[in-house]
Amino acid sequence: MTELDLRREIIAHCLRMNAAGINQGVSGNISVRFGERMLITPTSIPYDRLLPEDIASMSLAGNDGAFEGPKPPSSEWRFHLDIMRSRPEVGAIVHTHPTYCTSLAIARRSIPACHYMIAIFGGDDVRCADYATYGTEQLSANVLKALEDRSACLLANHGAIATGYDLANAFWRAVELETIARQYFNALLIGGPVLLTAEEMKDTFAKGLGSNYAGQRAR
Ligand code: 13P
């Protein structure tokens, strides 16, 4: 894909994440790896007004928030950059504020093995990262910890992050994550879930579903 293709793809997925009901307003952001750089949505611009040239470009080697483009990058550029840097298998990141993920994250709950599809996130749970103010290095550090051996996490009192080898893969995980969060939330309401055992999850992994982490091609 050319850089222009990727910029267009980012905008298309911003619109899709709101249409899919996993985000609202401009509360989410998306980044895609492009060689030694990262393309990332600009901060606070309604997605239906975004033009390809508005997508900010940042060096993966940078630390000071320097960017190229007419508009400043997402206020969450720090964790996007740190994930890309520390996880070479990640090609794209989708950050949203989905209702059920965020409800669980407000209750500071991780998502356990309530459904075998949890395997697509790399293990038998999706952790909730500790709270820190949005856009900070501390939030980024908490996110990296929660993402260890995982391709997604919740963010306490904030939202969710899903990663993938490309944008379609990360977007797929973002939708699956909110789906499982909704199912888990509903099970909590009707008496509590019966969780899968470690043995049952092992059988799921043995079939090849999510045997690894974000790098897997499990579409
Ligand atoms: P941006 O508009 O700066 O991307 O911020 C939205 C957000 O998700 C903050 O957590």
Is ligand 1 within 6 A of the CB of residue 157?
no
Tens of pLDDT along the chain (219 residues) come to 999 999 999 999 999 999 999 999 999 999 999 999 999 999 999 999 999 999 999 999 999 999 999 999 999 999 999 999 999 999 999 999 999 999 999 999 999 999 999 999 999 999 999 999 999 999 999 999 999 999 999 999 999 999 999 999 999 999 999 999 999 999 999 999 999 999 999 999 999 887 544 444 443
Task: Of 94, 102, 49, give the one whose Cα is nearest residue 71.
Answer: 49
Q: What is the pLDDT of residue 209?
A: 86
Is ligand 1 within 6 A of the CB of residue 172?
no
Tell me if residue 3 is catalytic. Answer: no
Q: What is the pLDDT of residue 185?
A: 98
Give me ligand 1 centre to Cα 29, in Å.
Answer: 6
Counting ligand 1 atoms within 8 A of each CB, the residue from 14, 58, 95, 101 with the most, and so the one to mutate, is 95
Counting ligand 1 atoms within 8 A of each CB, the residue from 76, 77, 131, 134 with the most, and so the one to mutate, is 76
Give me ligand 1 centre to Cα 134, in Å.
Answer: 8
- The token pair that represents 187 in the structure block: 């099970």
Q: Please give the Cα distance from 119 to 84 (Å, whole number).
A: 22
C-beta of residue 32 within 8 angstroms of C-beta of residue 38 = yes
Catalytic residue among 53, 76, 89, 137: 76
What is the SS3 assignment for 87-115? CCCCCEEEEECCHHHHHHHHCCCCECCCC
Q: What are the structural domains, with CATH classification, of the chain? A: 3-206 (3.40.225.10)
Q: What is the pLDDT of residue 213?
A: 44
